[in-house]
Every structure is written in structure tokens, then in C-alpha cells.
Amino acid sequence: MSFDIKKMTKRELNVGLKDQKIRYGVGAALALLSVFLANIPLLIIGGLLLGSAHLRWCPVYSGLGRSTVEPGEEQSGSTGPQTNH
């Protein structure tokens, strides 16, 4: 498996709903833990996980060409505006 730095910069939906929930949970736990331990690296990692969960985009997944999005999740879990036709 090769890492493509140019593909990493392309923003695409590549974090599935299960992955998103895990990232929210772990990111919030790390951010909260960093407050009690006064640990800046934990806060940064927690913030990055929360951000990637909110955007449903992971640059590492993009660079590796990986996606955890299941078929049919694009419309139901997207963070953008919904339009009904």
C-alpha cells in the first residue's frame, strides 16, 4: 500500500458513521483527559479526532486510498445541507 501525498490534499467523504462515532468518543475523552493531566499533545490529538469526525474526512485515509463509508451513508450522514427532490 503506497501513500499518495497529492491524493491526501483532496477532501472527500471517507469516514463512515461508525468510524465517526468512535472518533467523537475517543477525541472527547482525550480532550477531557488532557484538561486534568495538563497534557497539550493529548489535547491536540483529541482536537484532530473531533475535527475529522465532524468533517467526516481523514487526510491519512485519503492518502492511503481508504474509506470506511458504507454504501448509502453519503446522504444520510453528511454534514452538508440536505435537499429533498
Q: What is the pTM of this model?
A: 0.76
* Domain of 42, in residue numbers: 16-65
In a domain, 36, yes or no: yes
In a domain, 1, yes or no: no
In a domain, 11, yes or no: no
Q: 27 near 49, Cβ under 8 Å?
A: yes
Distances (CA, A) of 72 to 20, 52, 68: 15, 20, 12
In a domain, 76, yes or no: no
What are the 10-residue block averages of pLDDT along the chain, 85 residues in total?
74 89 96 94 95 91 86 62 45
In a domain, 43, yes or no: yes
Confidence (pLDDT) at 1? 62
In a domain, 80, yes or no: no
In a domain, 84, yes or no: no
Number of domains in the chain: 1
In a domain, 2, yes or no: no
